[in-house]
A and B are shown apart, each in its own frame.
Chain A
Amino acid sequence: MIAFGGSLLDVLSSNTMYSSTVRFAALMAFAAVGEWVAEKSGTMNISVEGMILTGAFTAALGSYWFDNPWMALLIGMLGGFLVAAIHANMSHRLGANQFVVGLTLNVLAVGLTAFLDAQIRPTVTRVPEFEIPVLSSIPLIGDALFNRTWVLYLLYPLVPLAWFIVYRTRWGLEVRAVGENPQAADVSGIHVNKRRRQAIYFCGACAGMAGAYLTIGQSGSFAADGVSGRGFLALAAVIFGGWTLKGTIAGALVFGVFQALGSAYQALGYEANPSLLGALPYVMALATLLLFAYRSRQPSSLGRPFVRGLT
Chain B
Amino acid sequence: MTAAAVSTDGLDGLDGVAGLDGAAGADNVATTADRRPPNAFLAVAGRSVPTVLLYVVSISAALGLCAILVSTTGGSATKVFSALLDGSIRSAGAWGITISTATPLLVVAIGTIVGAKAGMDNIGQEGQLLLGAGAAAFVATRLDAPGPVLLTASFLAAAAVGGLWASLAVLAKFTRRVPEVISTLLLIFIASQIITFALTKKWLLRALDSSSRTNNGEPLPKSARMPGIEIFGNVVSWGAVVALLLTAVIAVVLARTTIGFKLRMLGLNPRTARRFGVSAIGIGGGALIFSGAAAGLAGGLWLTGGTAGDRFTGGISSNIGWQGLLVALLARQKAALAIPMAFVFAGLRTGSNFVAATGVDRRITDVIQAMLVLSLLVPPAIQSLQRRRRRSGVAA
Give the chain A neighbours of B29 by CB distance below 8 A. Answer: 310
Q: Contact check, A104 vs B329: say whether CB atoms are below 8 A apart.
A: yes
Question: Does chain A have a CB within 8 A of B89?
Answer: no
Alpha-carbon gap, A144 to B388, bound state (A): 55
Q: Contact check, A232 vs B377: say whether CB atoms are below 8 A apart.
A: no
Q: Contact check, B374 vs A90: say whether CB atoms are below 8 A apart.
A: yes
Q: Contact check, B196 vs A96: say whether CB atoms are below 8 A apart.
A: no
Q: Contact check, A107 vs B369: say whether CB atoms are below 8 A apart.
A: yes
Give the chain A neighbours of B74 by CB distance below 8 A. Answer: 119
Question: Does chain B have a CB within 8 A of A293?
Answer: yes
Question: Does chain A have a CB within 8 A of B295?
Answer: no
**Nearest A-chain residue to B371, judged by Cβ:** A108
Give the chain B neighbours of A107 by CB distance below 8 A. Answer: 322, 326, 366, 369-370, 373
Classify the secondary structure of A's interface with B: helix
Q: Contact check, A104 vs B378: say whether CB atoms are below 8 A apart.
A: no
> Which listed residue (B189, B382, B388) contacts A279, Cβ 8 A?
B189
Contacts A99-B17, A100-B329, A275-B197 given; does A308 touch B381 at CB 8 Å:
no
Alpha-carbon gap, A107 to B69, bound state (A): 17
Q: Contact check, B31 vs A232: say whether CB atoms are below 8 A apart.
A: no
Alpha-carbon gap, A228 to B382, bound state (A): 34
Contacts A100-B22, A279-B193 given; does A95 touch B179 at CB 8 Å:
no
Minimal beta-carbon separation of A233 from chain B (angstroms): 8
Give the chain A neighbours of B4 by CB distance below 8 A. Answer: 311
**Nearest B-chain residue to A273, judged by Cβ:** B197
The contact size tier of chain A is 35 or more
Question: Does chain A have a CB within 8 A of B252?
Answer: no
Q: Contact check, A111 vs B367: say whether CB atoms are below 8 A apart.
A: yes
Q: Contact check, A283 vs B22: say whether CB atoms are below 8 A apart.
A: no
Give the chain B neighbours of A98 by CB distance below 8 A. Answer: 17
Alpha-carbon gap, A107 to B328, bound state (A): 14
Q: Contact check, B200 vs A275: say whether CB atoms are below 8 A apart.
A: yes
The contact size tier of chain B is 35 or more
Q: Contact check, B367 vs A283: say whether CB atoms are below 8 A apart.
A: no
Question: Does chain A have a CB within 8 A of B289?
Answer: no
Minimal beta-carbon separation of B54 from chain A (angstroms): 12
Q: Contact check, A289 vs B193: say whether CB atoms are below 8 A apart.
A: no
CB proximity to B under 8 Å, residues A229-288: 229, 232, 235-236, 239, 273-276, 278-279, 282-283, 285-286
> Which listed residue (A101, A232, A276, A283) contacts B182, Cβ 8 A?
A232
Question: Does chain B have a CB within 8 A of A118?
Answer: yes
Q: Contact check, A310 vs B181: say whether CB atoms are below 8 A apart.
A: no
- State the total of A-B contacts with C-beta under 8 angstroms: 199
Give the chain A neighbours of B189 by CB distance below 8 A. Answer: 228-229, 232, 279, 282
Give the chain A neighbours of B374 by CB distance below 8 A. Answer: 86, 90, 101, 104-105, 108
Alpha-carbon gap, A93 to B381, bound state (A): 9
Question: Does chain A have a CB within 8 A of B114?
Answer: no
Q: Mark A205-235, 1 if CB is under 8 A from B, else 0.
A: 0000000000000000000000011001001
Alpha-carbon gap, A298 to B250, bound state (A): 36
Alpha-carbon gap, A309 to B369, bound state (A): 35
**Nearest A-chain residue to B1, judged by Cβ:** A311
Minimal beta-carbon separation of B109 from chain A (angstroms): 14
Alpha-carbon gap, A275 to B363, bound state (A): 27
Give the chain B neighbours of A283 by CB distance below 8 A. Answer: 190
Q: Mark A79-101, 1 if CB is under 8 A from B, else 0.
A: 00000001000100111111111
Q: Contact check, A309 vs B33: say whether CB atoms are below 8 A apart.
A: yes
Question: Does chain A have a CB within 8 A of B106?
Answer: no
Contacts A119-B74, A276-B197, A307-B26 given; does A104 touch B367 at CB 8 Å:
no
Question: Does chain B have a CB within 8 A of A116?
Answer: yes
Interface residues of A (CB under 8 A from B): 44, 46, 86, 90, 93-101, 103-105, 107-108, 110-112, 114-116, 118-120, 228-229, 232, 235-236, 239, 273-276, 278-279, 282-283, 285-286, 289-291, 293-294, 303-305, 307-311
For this complex, 22 residue pairs linking A to B, each with C-beta atoms less than 8 Å apart, are: A97-B20, A97-B23, A99-B20, A104-B329, A107-B366, A111-B364, A112-B370, A114-B363, A115-B69, A115-B366, A118-B363, A119-B74, A235-B182, A275-B194, A279-B197, A282-B193, A285-B186, A293-B176, A293-B179, A303-B16, A307-B388, A311-B8
Interface residues of B (CB under 8 A from A): 2, 4-5, 8, 14, 16-24, 26-27, 29-34, 36, 39, 69, 73-75, 121, 123, 172, 176-179, 181-183, 185-190, 193-194, 196-197, 200, 322, 325-326, 329, 360-361, 363-367, 369-371, 373-374, 377-378, 381-382, 384-385, 388, 392
